Amino acid sequence: MQTDSSFTFVLFGGTGDLSMRKILPALFEAHRAGGMLADSGKIVAVARHVADRSEYLQWVNEHVKPHVSKNGVDEAAWASFLARIEFAKIDLGNPDDFVLLRDAVKDLPGIRVFYLATGPSLFVPICRALASVGLNENARIVLEKPLGYDLKSSNAINDAVGEIFAEEQIYRIDHYLGKEPVQNLLALRFGNALFEPLWRREWVESIQITIAEELGVEARGDFYDNTGALRDMVQNHLLQLLSIVAMEPPHSMDSDSVRDEKLRVLRALKPINPLDIGKVAVRGQYHSGVIRGNAVPAYATEPGVKQNSTTETFVALKVEIENWRWAGVPFFLRTGKRLADRVAEIVVNFRPVPHSALGASALRAGANRLVIRLQPNETIRLYCLAKQPGEGMNLASVHLDLAFDQFFREGQMEAYQRLLLDVINGRLALFVRRDEQEAAWRWVEPILNEWKASNKPPKPYASGTWGPAAASAMLAQHGTCWLEEEN
């Protein structure tokens, strides 16, 4: 993925946690690889908590280095990366300071990328301030989630940003779409005759999509208590993964062809009847428990969380897609904090054979499945049945690993690295279009409204478990279970 695209990458929130853990490490890895970033490309960090460039580089040395190059840092590459970095001390609350930013970047080359690694309340003021000094020309803007609290607030942000930047200039980032297995899911489906004919209701029994975290809310109690798992994870990450799994083959991989097909999935989601929410939606909140031998506190006692909070930290949903490909196939979505393991995966359960001359084991659910693991290790595994060695026709489950690292010498690219390179090179396919975001909010809002109106507390679950028992019961009603429960 070599490029000659010159760029000036302006990073708002330059001292923030996201910049330190993800954005700058991703840019360093692209720089270290050679050829991915134009030699003339510059990074301009914007912050107000440090005095000047020298102090900022000290901050970067202290806070970014621990997150780069697992096998150690190449000091020559690190030094040349730091040489790319400039610094602008700016108070984002003072529009007059943006004149200083304009002066700092006016002589720097190439397309300007403005990455807003800030709270969403600053998105519109920053965009307006950029426009006031003419910096919205020849530019791209990257917006992190959450983009709004509901459909109305999301539209308000999009309307305001859309007055300043054209839609093709706006990159709404969802880092799950940049993960290697998600890209390989597209390759498996649309590049091979083996999978696509099976990717439909006649052969797929159910699909599970899980994003589970061991961590709690950590230092984000104030933010999380006003957000909850449905807004924080389902409206964006899980529904985006769902749309990738269920989309029709696009006529090409250009940005609008891919996003048009994702949008059709989101618009085909069956609306959840408020009277049925108790059957198809489970919300939970973690209590104290033990994770990997360490005692952890209940959500209600976390710093920043309101007393008697009813914010959910766990959501499980049964989702249906009303189209010919997927009619009648349940999609089970699940996300939560303080769960038993950190894992993100997509599980495609194929239907058992209609008749078996080999015994009942060939008819059991889950005998044939595809598991796409997104984290912590990125793998794709195909499960099937094979004869056990020895006498008789005894079947056992075996799996085929799609081990890409054994076929390709290049190391897997981290999600943020891929997505930042796509921004610099003007590739929009892996970013969320406004109409996708609106469709997701329209589907999610009735659930939010019903939970608020019912005023029922979330179901408790002990930290270190897989969530409320009701989430397992929901799948049991359909004759299935979560993947980890089979063992």
| Average pLDDT across the chain, whole number | 91
DSSP 393-454: --EEEEEEEE-HHHH-SSPPPPHHHHHHHHHHTT--TTSB-HHHHHHHHHHHHHHHHHHHHH
pLDDT of residue 411: 67
Residue 264, annotated as binding a ligand:
no
Q: Which residues pair with 460 in a beta bridge?
A: 285
Least confident of 100-109, 280-289, 370-379: 370-379
Q: Are 114 and 142 in contact (CB under 8 A)?
A: yes
Question: Does the annotation place 145 within a ligand binding site?
Answer: yes
Query: Half-sphere exposure of residue 149, counting CA atoms within 13 Å on the CB side?
Result: 9
pLDDT tens profile 164-213: 999 999 999 999 999 888 888 888 889 888 888 999 999 999 999 999 99
224 pLDDT more than 50: yes
pLDDT of residue 359: 67
Nearest CA among 94, 118, 125, 95 for reference residue 10: 118
Confidence (pLDDT) at 185: 87
Amino acid in position 66 = P
**pLDDT of 365:** 64
8 Å CB contact between 248 and 325: yes
pLDDT at position 1 over 70: no
Active site residue 67: no
Catalytic residue among 63, 67, 237, 251: 237
Using N-to-C axis directions, what is the helix angle for 434-454 and 151-162, rounded to 10°? 150
H or E element that contains 122: none
Half-sphere exposure of 415 (CA within 13 A, CB side): 20
Residue/partner pairs of 398-405 with CB below 8 Å, 24 or more apart: 402/184, 402/188, 403/379, 404/180, 404/184
User: How many angstroms separate the Cα of 48 from the Cα of each of 15, 219, 225, 254, 344?
Assistant: 9, 21, 27, 39, 36
Which residue has 């408790």 as its token pair? 460
Distance CA 122, CA 167 (A): 19
Higher pLDDT, 35 or 289: 289
Of 185-194, 211-220, 260-269, 305-314, least confident by mean pLDDT is 185-194
Q: What's the mean pLDDT in 330-345?
A: 97
Structural tokens at position 176: 């799950």
Residue 337 annotated as binding site: yes
Is 110 exposed, middle or buried (CB count within 10 Å of its CB: 0-12, 13-18, 19+)?
A: middle
Number of H helices, E strands in the chain: 17, 17
- 110 in Cβ contact with 73 (< 8 Å): no
Q: Is the pLDDT of residue 228 over 90?
A: yes
The confidence band for 126, taking pLDDT boundaries of 50, 70 and 90, is very high
% of the chain residues with pLDDT over 90: 70
Q: What pLDDT, on the 0 to 100 scale, is given for residue 184? A: 84
Question: What phi and psi, each to the nearest 5 degrees, are found at residue 7?
Answer: -155, 155
**Cβ-contact 356, 233 below 8 angstroms:** no
Using DSSP's 3-state secondary structure scheme, residue 297 falls into coil
What sign results for the dihedral spanned by CA atoms 7, 8, 13, 19? positive
Nearest residue to 232 (alpha-carbon basis) of 174, 166, 294: 174
Is the pLDDT confidence value at 290 over 80?
Answer: yes
Residues 440, 293: Cα–Cα separation, whole Å: 38
**49 vs 428, residue with greater confidence:** 428
- Per the CB < 8 A criterion, the answer to whether 339 and 465 are in contact is yes
213 is in an annotated binding site: yes
Q: Can you give the pLDDT at residue 4?
A: 58
459 annotated to a ligand binding site = no
Q: Which amino acid is at 205?
A: E
Q: Given this model, what pLDDT does residue 2 score? A: 46
Mean pLDDT of 331-343: 97
pLDDT, one tens digit per residue, over 316-334 is: 999 999 999 999 999 999 9
* 175 carries a ligand binding annotation: yes
Taking the model in full, what pTM does it have?
Answer: 0.93
The gap from C-alpha 474 to its chain's centroid, in whole angstroms, comes to 25
pLDDT band at 55 (very low <50, low <70, confident <90, very high): very high
Reported as a single tens digit per residue, the pLDDT across 374-429 is: 888 888 899 988 888 887 777 878 888 876 666 776 667 889 999 999 999 999 99
pLDDT at 214: 96
CA 239, CA 441: separation in Å to the nearest integer? 10
Among the residue ranges 110-124, 241-255, 410-424, 467-481, the one predicted with the least confidence is: 410-424
All residues at 6 or more sequence positions from 221 whose CB lies less than 8 Å from its CB, including other chains? 302, 303, 304, 305
Which domains occur in the chain, in start order? Answer: 7-144 (3.40.50.720), 177-414+434-486 (3.30.360.10)
Show Cβ contacts of residue 293 under 8 Å, excluding neighbours closer than 6 positions: none
What pLDDT shows up at residue 377?
81
SS3 state of residue 455: coil
Q: Are 23 and 12 in contact (CB under 8 A)?
A: no
